[in-house]
Structure formats: C-alpha cells, structure tokens
Structure 1
Amino acid sequence: MTALPDLLPLGLDGLLARFATTFSEGANARARDLAAGLEAAPLPGQVEVAPALASVLIRFDRAAVTRAALAQALRARLAEPAAAPAPARHWRVPACFGGPSGAQLTEAATLAGRSETALIAELCATDLTVLALGFAPGQPYLGLLPEHWQMPRLPALTPRVAPGTITTAIRQIVLFAQASPTGWRALGRCAFRPFSAHAAAPFLLRPGDRLRFAPATEAEIAALEASGDPRGGAKVSAP
C-alpha cells in the first residue's frame, strides 16, 4: 500500500499534503496527480490547489469547512483507487543558445564536463516534464536532466534576466515567465511566454506537460518575439 502524505497546517486557511521532504520523481508525480484530481473533483470547501515539487497546498473556505474536516475528506479521497493521469500535452519550443548567455553557458558546460555544443544538443534531445509552476505566475520547473546536470546555483545573483530566458541548476531547467533576478545559469532564450495576464487562458503550461526545445537562430527568435504571440512559435500536440 502506498504511504499517505503528511497532512500539515499551513497558514490560516491551508492544508499541505507533503509526499516527501526532498525531491523525487515519484513524489512529484504523486503531487501532480493529486492536484489534478482535486481540480477535477474539488473537496467540500476547497478554494484553491497549488502543486509544488513534492507537495500540494489546498486552500479552503474557513466558513464552509474546518481544517480537520478537510483533512478527513482528503484522507478518504487518497484511500480511493487513483484515477489514470491525464495524457500529457507535448510542446516543441524554438530556442536559441549562447549569445548574451554565452559566459554562463560556458560555465555550465564546464561543470557538466561537456562541450557547449554537446550540452545544448543533449538538452534539445530531451523531453522535459513540467514538474511544477511557481516562483512567478505560470513559470515552469522542467526536468529531470541527467546526473552531470547536477550543478549548483551561481554564488551571486544575476540582477536581471529577461522573460523567455532558459536557465539551469540542480538537473532542472527554469524558463522565466517574467523579468527577474536569478541564481540559475542562463543558457539561452526563447519567445515562448508561459504566462500572459490578459489572455483568455493565462497559463500555457500545466504540470505533467512535456516540453522539448528546438534549436533556432537568434534572428528567428527575435522575429518570433516581435510578433507578440506568447506561444513564440511553439507547437503543441494535444493528448
């Protein structure tokens, strides 16, 4: 029997279902599946679900349900046979590498023990899973990459990376949704914008989606950025 997650209070109106205290692909998959199930069939009093890398935050209406009752309902849900996960959508996102990110790409390649060309070729041959959205609205954490991508964050923050910057650390890729400081090493950029506040569907990605980068030139990415389309030339195959 699969162990139940720890159910922990969080703030005044939150219940955290924690599957592990460190990242694992199994814990991440369970968190994604629970969040998807709760979105499809909410618990009584549930108002928001936010999956993270190994946990799920469930916010509730304190006037409609107590935390204890919500926890009881969640335990009952977890005891039921798990539904099959929804088929993943597959995204193919044009991206260019090097350029303004060249110095940090060189550092990343050195840390990985690969040439820059080999490192980017490996990245572009990998189907990455959207492990979670976070830090900024719609911003994906993508992984996992092979062990030689287990590189630390930078010792000091880069003051600003532009939207669409592709960065790496700890076997993951973060594709920045908004301009931001970061301690992750920049590899390149794309015109794909995973969050558009005024769009009918602001979040393009969802946890469990697959994403692969397709090599493009700087000029091609600049043209896609100039078009204003938040998909930035990305193609998606629906499940």
Structure 2
Amino acid sequence: MQNPDLFPHIVTVGLTGLLVRFADRLTDPANRAALAFRAAVDAESWPGVEETSSSLCATYLRFDPLHLPHAVLQARLHGLLAGQDWYTAAAPQGRRFWRIPTVFGGDLAPQLAEAAALAGQSEAEAIAVLTNARPRVLTLGFAPGQPYLGELPEGWNIPRQSALTPQVPAGALVVAVRQFVLFANASPTGWRHVGQTAFRCFRPEAADPFPLRAGDEVAFYAITPEEYDNIRKTDPLGGGASTEPIR
C-alpha cells in the first residue's frame, strides 16, 4: 500500500492532459487502481474528456480545456478519488482471458536458457513456470498494441541485458523484471527473447486494431516449431483465442 500522504495525486501533462498517479513504481495494487479508476472515469462520460488510458500505475486523461477547465476536471477527479479505496477496487468488467500458442527456446527464441539460468531454473522448469503463469496486461506501450504483462513469480525478477539485441521479430515474447513483453513489431530490445508467437498485437485493418486491452489476462502455452509454422501459414491473426468475461 502506498503512503496515503503521497498517493494518489494529480499532475498536469501539458495544456490538455491530467495524470492520476497511484504510485511511483509498479505494484499490483497500483496497477489495479489505475485500471479501475480509468474504467470509472469512462463511466462518468464527462463532456470535454476526449481520451483516457492507463499506464503501469497511473490513469491519463486528455481533455479540451476550452470546454472543461483544469480546475473543474481536477475537482471532479478529486471527488471520484475520495469515493473509495481504489487500491482495493474491483477489476473492470469486460476483461478477457487469452491463450496464445508459443514456441519456447530453440532457434526461434534463443535466450530461454540464459533467462532460465538467471531465474535459477532449468529450461524445462522455466517453461513450466512461464506456461503456468496467467499474467495481466498491465498496460500497452512502446509500439501500437504492444502489451506489458505481469507480474511473474519473484524468481523472474531478472535484469535487462547490459546491451541491446539488434532485433527480435514481431511476435517475440521477451522477459525481464518480472514482466513479459509481446512485441508488436520487429524491434531492438534489452529484454531476453524466451518465446516466439505468431500473434498479431496490432491489426490496423480491423475495426479494433488492438486485440489485447489493459486488464486482460493471458496464458502462453507451448507448441512445436512445426505448429508455429502452420499457424503462420494458415491464420492471418497469428493464433490466440479469448473468452469473455473474466472476473
């Protein structure tokens, strides 16, 4: 639990943004608070609020200050914050559980052994832990639709690399600091590449281009390289199935 004298608090972001911060670092209660508070703001449907989003431990609002002055919006936010303990708020409705097929290790994900060793596990033990986890989408960021997921067991509080991997492909599952990132695009990274999926996190041709949403939960289940090749050839969405809702 955060110090109540410090959090939550509201800070301005330029002329058109406000940020409601629930912590200065990721914790599970702070992330849950950010998700629940964003949902509550959306439910209010305040005229002048044009966009909301959530980060690891904050809720962001973009608004039109010509129609909704800063002072008015801040007063409304303070009132909403005072209405309950957001660190123990129920999870938002409409979250989904995804199962995403993943190749762990081998040529497609060459840093599994290194990551497992840092976590004090064999490759087989690491795969068991990572496939039994059900991490939450903490936030989307860095690239369109790209999820940060966590938190993994404490043993997976492994550091980032000291140097960048020049590029991992789209669909790469990487790990560090008790989190997964599922890459939306080919990109350099300092996180270790432990799994490879065909899942498309960004679908610009779709009405909803981001299939994963903050608050969703995900399980990555192990498949063979041959199964991965078949998914790539036959499924334009890259595998993955969801159920709705979850509690």
Same fold (TM over 0.5): yes
Query: SS at the partner of 1:225?
Result: helix
Alignment match, 2:72: 69
What is the TM-score normalised by the length of structure 2? 0.90
The answer (yes or no) to whether the contact 1:44–1:70 under 8 Å persists in 2 is no
CA distance in 2, matches of 1:11, 1:25: 28
Identify the match of residue 220 of structure 1 among 222, 227, 237.
227
Report the number of matched residues: 237
Match of 1:33 among 33, 36, 44: 36
Percent of aligned pairs sharing the same letter = 45
Q: How does 1:126-165 map to 2 (within 5 A)?
A: 126-165=133-172
Alignment of 1:1-239 (within 5 A): 3=4, 5-81=8-84, 84=90, 85-86=92-93, 88-230=95-237, 232-239=238-245
- With over 3 angstroms needed to count, the CA separation of the structure-2 counterparts of 1:113 and 1:205, relative to structure 1, is same
- Residues 102 and 202 of structure 1: is their aligned pair in 2 closer, same or farther, counting only changes over 3 Å? closer
Q: Is the 8 A contact 2:103 2:109 kept in 1?
A: no
Q: Which amino acid aligns with 2:40?
A: G
Aligned-partner Cα distance in 2 for 1:107–1:8 = 40
**Quick one: which amino acid aligns to residue 12 of structure 1?**
L
TM-superposed CA distance for 1:229, in Å, is 2.2
Letter in 1 for 2:164: L
Residues 100 and 133 of structure 1: CA distance in aligned 2, closer, same or farther (over 3 Å): same
1:101 Cα shift?
Answer: 4.9
Superimposed CA distance per residue, residues 166-219 of structure 1 (whole angstroms, 9 cap, x where no aligned partner): 000000000011111111100021111121111111111111111001111111
5+ residue gaps, structure 1? none
Paired amino acid for 2:79 = A
Deviation, structure 1 residue 24: 0.6
Distance 2:110 2:235 in 1: 28
RMSD: 1.7
3-state DSSP class of the match of 1:9? strand
**Which moved further from structure 2: 42-51 or 20-29?**
42-51
